[in-house]
Structure 1
């Protein structure tokens, strides 16, 4: 099956059913299918080859989703591009991933001139939402209407490349991740297995569609779901959209959930329609998780994955979050191995470790990527011992629940002891005055690396640093307690919302001529 076949499954459930909603505009499945057909015909007529690579550089919008569907219907490979990445990073990725056709929203039209020079493989720049001079053509002028079905130009075999993502560059220069039709089939199947829907979902896309929220929205269309598109995350608008559209499902990173919890209108809002709120991408404060369950109801759905093994390697559905007494049943867990994944903990020598032993989380199964695009060396390194190495340190208990301790490269060695930032961050996040925090190691003559915390206060709060450190020392002991705490109004984040510890480390490590 091709990725577009999953959309067509949803479309066959009812051409008049709402497919996407943006503002006051409702697009039915019949309308979206017809437009994706017309886009596919336009691409083919313009010389876009079967298996060619095409990207959409846009924020959240229905037009962007339609262009993606058109690429897939033309039997192209969708390249996930991020309109919020830097100009140089975008140029590097578009060139690396051999993009042939680039759909460009007018909000980033000023980047086209740079891409023309830096990305010689881009054959066609197409204006997505309106005509502008920097593009070669406007999509609205290219559409080819016909009653004939769009010809299928590739077999749809499981091993065929379906889409190209990128690693985001939080641990080095971004790499292209090759994901096949088979990977997409495994992703949709795993999502449905871990989050069975009572009815076609109403999926709110508020997080950037250039990351997890985009593929998750496409997956919901396979179930005949309705996708409500917000241009960006705004806590008050998310609260209003949930009530207005009777939203049943949404994906948000923990940081966005914290903002929802702090939104005044959320305290009296109607969240009764919600079935699932998926959270992933970073560890979530246990205290905030309790707040979320109290506010939204028993709808929180944890998962663990990464671009190379997308989104749901493990899962902890809502009914497994709480025990019979209403307490967190598996505090800090990202769930058990999902239906189509084999997950283990491995040491540096390739030995599978038992319950309670810390090591790297490794994965096998149909979710795992085909490899890094044009980078066989990196593919071989990440596939050592026949397993995909996630780069995350974790532990498994006797019942198969997995716990992510930290990124392997973020581990701090202080005074000869291993300190995992996530553990320290959890302790600091228990303070109600702390909105978010990041823990890093900085060079220190005595300790080698000293543990330092940078905290972002909740709105209107002034953090009592002495009290914060005293409470952390009670929870963590002297080795793991930060040697100092710094306050920052807003922590630096990647386009996916992850805190960039590397950016925080730079000012401490660059003066000593090292990176860690």
Structure 2
């Protein structure tokens, strides 16, 4: 059987030949054509090879969204090396952990992160080269100088790779513990790119443009690969923080037709007044993932943008490829929305099942763990046999999410196994309660979680963020949910906070909420 596959880095080379002068990357006044990006990638690949970097080496990069972060992925792929991007918002101890656990031999870091570079150096005994994007210190290399020095070497011949050869350590977000390095491979990612194009964004081409509103180190990086495969330009805002005015102005200026984000960001963008000041009729696919979108937020976004929302469900370990709910399945009117609450049907080529604890496949409407198999499933966790044993059982990858499928094969997520709590012997799934609470007109965000209780074992508590200029109290909420939820599911306590803690990718981090509650 043939094991060798196309080096994924060749996708950029292919596009640079077909559309050499077309824009590939735009951020503020910076604009790079596909031929310019490809030449930069060739030069940096030559430069790193001259430093002894080759197949299987790990390249750790800690940077904000910029051209160097964008192109570093393609550099790693062409070398047969492994790209290890970080979220630039992580702390120094966290990058120290990533440097050590990934066993990186190269660190590339952005301006303002010298202390992070030092933390990585101190934590790791495998780092051999540290490359600064700006102002290198003694013993460090200068990224742009290296690149310019090796431009004369011309085209870089991509390293030959096999299907399972790793190209990306996709670290879990770490909302429930230490991040684990999910191993993505050349062959797997070729399937993922094709699947995203078929199921999420059919019809995009080199005339399309994509707005990048999340760190390229995670899901937005996958999305950028997909757009690059079709020659669609990536447009980046200048602001490192979400600036809704800038986002909507870019949508209008560049006729953005696709963007990837998380439900929290969709909510913020569509609730901001700027959404009504700019023309966003070019949008075809506003893709959201990372967490389910609450129905109240979904209806608001649909009323503002039209039927352009596309949801996909999938962990980093499956690179987002479990289910899809396409735009034509999003209905703003509950009367027409007979599949309300679903996260869609299985992606093309992927199989989804609900299993019980013994590995038995459950029937429609029976609740159990959501499991998946197919070409998008990753190669496993790097150097973590215990996690692999837990994740791969009975011939399936186990997501840790709880849910059911209906008679038509649509999937519904009830919650995370780790979120569920048992109160008085009854299983309680926070997701169900949160959905009801968010239909209250005064509530903007909410998180429900279980905490220990002497009488009931565990009780539910709700942390509530009210909408601007709105007020709500415990009595109001209790009266509101009476008759909508079984009594045992009612939160026993309510806390009212100005905001909820979120990860660098916009997800609500329940472990931080629990820690704060315990501290108080």
Q: TM-score, normalised by structure 2?
A: 0.94
Q: Deviations over 1:189-210 (max 9, x none)?
A: 1101112024433111111212
The residue aligned with 2:146 is 142
Q: How many angstroms does 1:484 deviate by?
A: 2.2
| Change beyond 3 A, Cα 1:383–1:168 | same
1:475 alignment partner, SS class? coil
Residue from 185, 192, 195 that aligns with 1:187: 192
1:372 alignment partner, SS class? coil
Q: Deviations over 1:68-112 (max 9, x none)?
A: 222222221111222211211211111111111111001212222
Alpha-carbon distance in 2 for matches of 1:417, 1:500: 24
Residue from 3, 6, 12 that aligns with 2:17: 12
- Moved runs in structure 1, 4+ residues, more than 4 A? 323-326, 507-511
**Residue 176 of structure 2 is aligned to residue 171 of structure 1:** yes
The residue aligned with 1:212 is 219
The residue aligned with 1:448 is 457
Alignment of 1:416-431 (within 5 A): 416-431=425-440
Alpha-carbon distance in 2 for matches of 1:308, 1:381: 13
Residue from 246, 251, 263 that aligns with 2:272: 263
2:41 alignment partner, SS class? helix
**Are the counterparts in 1 of residues 46 and 153 from structure 2 also a CA contact under 8 Å?**
no
Residue from 204, 224, 230 that aligns with 2:231: 224
1:142 alignment partner, SS class? helix
The residue aligned with 1:151 is 157
The residue aligned with 2:3 is none
**Are the counterparts in 2 of residues 110 and 134 from structure 1 also a CA contact under 8 Å?**
no
The residue aligned with 1:250 is 259
Q: How many angstroms does 1:301 deviate by?
A: 0.4
**Residue 131 of structure 2 is aligned to residue 126 of structure 1:** yes
Alpha-carbon distance in 2 for matches of 1:199, 1:431: 42
Aligned residues: CA RMSD: 1.8
Higher alpha-carbon deviation: 1-10 or 378-387 = 1-10
The residue aligned with 1:343 is 352
Q: Deviations over 1:305-360 (max 9, x none)?
A: 01111112110110122399973342111110001211100001100001000000
2:482 alignment partner, SS class? helix
The residue aligned with 1:196 is 202
Q: How many angstroms does 1:237 deviate by?
A: 1.6
**Are the counterparts in 2 of residues 21 and 227 from structure 1 also a CA contact under 8 Å?**
yes
Q: How many angstroms does 1:149 deviate by?
A: 2.1
**Are the counterparts in 2 of residues 452 and 482 from structure 1 also a CA contact under 8 Å?**
yes
2:230 alignment partner, SS class? coil
Q: Deviations over 1:441-475 (max 9, x none)?
A: 11222221111110122233222432222112232
1:370 alignment partner, SS class? coil
Q: How many angstroms does 1:132 deviate by?
A: 3.1
| Change beyond 3 A, Cα 1:343–1:59 | same
Residue from 87, 90, 100 that aligns with 1:85: 90
Alignment of 1:306-385 (within 5 A): 306-322=315-331, 327-385=336-394
**Are the counterparts in 2 of residues 54 and 77 from structure 1 also a CA contact under 8 Å?**
yes
**Are the counterparts in 1 of residues 69 and 216 from structure 2 also a CA contact under 8 Å?**
no
| Change beyond 3 A, Cα 1:240–1:463 | farther
Q: How many angstroms does 1:261 deviate by?
A: 2.1
- The number of residues matched between the two structures is 509
Alpha-carbon distance in 2 for matches of 1:268, 1:139: 40
Alpha-carbon distance in 1 for matches of 2:324, 2:18: 28
Q: How many angstroms does 1:361 deviate by?
A: 0.4
The residue aligned with 1:45 is 50
Higher alpha-carbon deviation: 142-151 or 365-374 = 142-151
2:344 alignment partner, SS class? strand
Alpha-carbon distance in 1 for matches of 2:138, 2:319: 35
The residue aligned with 1:514 is none
**Residue 80 of structure 2 is aligned to residue 71 of structure 1:** no
Alpha-carbon distance in 1 for matches of 2:105, 2:86: 13
Q: How many angstroms does 1:213 deviate by?
A: 0.7
The residue aligned with 1:412 is 421
Q: Deviations over 1:32-53 (max 9, x none)?
A: 0011111111111111122211
Q: How many angstroms does 1:134 deviate by?
A: 6.2
The residue aligned with 1:293 is 302
Q: How many angstroms does 1:431 deviate by?
A: 1.8
Higher alpha-carbon deviation: 263-272 or 219-228 = 263-272
Q: Deviations over 1:270-325 (max 9, x none)?
A: 11000101111112110110111111111000111011111121101101223999
2:487 alignment partner, SS class? coil
Alpha-carbon distance in 1 for matches of 2:213, 2:324: 22
Q: TM-score, normalised by structure 1?
A: 0.95
| Change beyond 3 A, Cα 1:133–1:469 | same
**Are the counterparts in 2 of residues 411 and 418 from structure 1 also a CA contact under 8 Å?**
yes
**Are the counterparts in 1 of residues 299 and 331 from structure 2 also a CA contact under 8 Å?**
no
